[in-house]
Amino acid sequence: MANLTMVDMTAENGTSPAPDNQTLGVWTDYTVEYKVASVFLVTLICGLGIVGNVMVILVVLTTKHMRTPTNCYLVSLAVADLMVLTAAGLPNITDALHGQWVYGYAGCLGITYFQYLGINASSCSITAFTVERYIAICHPIRAQFLCTLSRAKKIILLVWTLTSAYCVMWLFLADTKTLAYDNVVLLSCAYKVSRSYYLPVYFTDFAAFYVLPLMLATVLYGLIARILFVNPLPADPQGGTKKWKKETSQGGRMIGTCSSSSTTAASRRQVTKMLAVVVVLFALLWMPYRTLVVVNSFLDKAYLDTWFLLFCRLCIYLNSAINPVIYNAMSQKFRAAFKKLCHYGPQHMEKPASYSVALTYSVIKETSNGESPDHFTTEMDEELNTPTDRYLPAGILPSAKKMPFAEPSPSGSDVKA
């Protein structure tokens, strides 16, 4: 098993390491068609992915109303995806052009380490926001204290600390090897240990960072779907508006329970759909690569067709590049933030979020007696598709702006076995 950028040429050519003073036969370079396709597709996917993930990080860090617990996990996922695209994707270009490893011993260790760090951190980030969505929707009372911005930052720090420590083993498994052919001597980045010693390490990694996260996501999103789609909250904006106006005209208090509930329910459904799509694509795009490694683990001679290996790698790079496209397509807030970032730059990204104040305050007053507003502000600001001042009677917004809650609380290697 080799890293995501270099296929072990010894295995690819179907030979075994040669004894001393013997060569591996005649080495043949990649075809022109393969070089052109590989360089073009990898450059296109990785280039767009790097730009998109950088934009995700910028819009969340530079826009206060985008700093929610869920979006913090998406930033962690974006950083991990950037690591995969740069450490795995870009070196693949030099592999196609030169046919050998060009980054030396230190590059072999460092690039292999950051490849697996990005892969494992992205899997853990997906698991983290899946659990966060489950708690926020299925246990809203507990979510007031568990799904907060400060707790999300601590969890992200823990995820990166643990995955960084876990991936240290790759620094001891990776090494450069000199391959002597009849016509050329090449340098490859491969692994020190033999196949039999490495397989337990791989299957542990496979289970911990692919199988278990997907099993957990399947169960939790099933429970979330039961709450949001089987037994949804009331969703009648017109009825909610009438009730709001009637009750506020009688008592002069900001209640609007039906209106806020319907808006929150629609917001939660939209955000959950978006995150579920991220998980599904993670499972599908990693499947060819994971399947190939599992199959090769039980074959005497590994299947390492060059074009199929390229397909598996492109699926991995696409998984790391496609998430910003999903956010833009399924989230109105991300779409608006991306447009502002492109037109004005990060220094103009900040904007007031006063339109959500009244709803936030009313939900807090109705459900938690004013305790711990962090979670509910997050839920109201996740994905509001309509301005809430449509539901507010005259005179409410000015007074709401003076309330203490006016500011809302601010994610070739194993091809060789």
Q: Does residue 206 belong to any structural domain of this protein?
A: yes
Q: Does residue 384 belong to any structural domain of this protein?
A: no
Q: Show the tokens assigned to 325.
A: 């496209």
Q: Where are any strands of DSSP class E within 327-385?
A: none
| Helices (H), ranges, 16-103 | 32-62, 69-84, 90-98
Kindly report the CATH number assigned to the domain that includes residue 305: 1.20.1070.10
Q: Does residue 408 belong to any structural domain of this protein?
A: no
Q: Does residue 133 belong to any structural domain of this protein?
A: yes
Count how many domains the chain has.
Answer: 1
Three-class SS of residue 222?
A: helix
Q: Does residue 114 belong to any structural domain of this protein?
A: yes
Query: Domain span at residue 217?
Result: 9-235+267-352
59 to each of 64, 125, 154, 167, 267, how far by Cα in Å? Answer: 9, 18, 21, 29, 19
CA 143 to chain centre: 22
pLDDT at position 4: 59
> Tens-of-pLDDT digits for all 417 residues of the chain?
445 554 433 333 333 444 444 567 888 889 999 999 999 999 999 999 999 999 999 999 998 889 999 999 999 999 999 999 999 988 999 999 988 899 999 999 999 999 999 999 999 999 999 999 999 999 989 988 889 999 999 999 999 999 999 999 999 999 999 888 888 889 999 888 777 777 888 888 899 999 999 999 999 999 998 888 776 554 444 444 444 444 444 444 444 445 555 666 677 788 889 999 999 999 999 999 999 988 888 888 888 899 999 999 999 999 999 999 999 999 889 999 999 888 865 555 554 444 433 333 333 333 343 333 344 444 434 444 434 344 444 333 333 333 333 333 333 444 333
Q: Which helix (H) or strand (E) holds 380?
A: helix 374-382
Q: How many CA atoms lie within 13 Å of 180's alpha carbon, on the beta-carbon side?
A: 6
Q: Does residue 26 belong to any structural domain of this protein?
A: yes
Of the candidates 219, 232, 240, 203, the one whose C-alpha atom is nearest the C-alpha of residue 392 is 240
pLDDT at position 201: 83
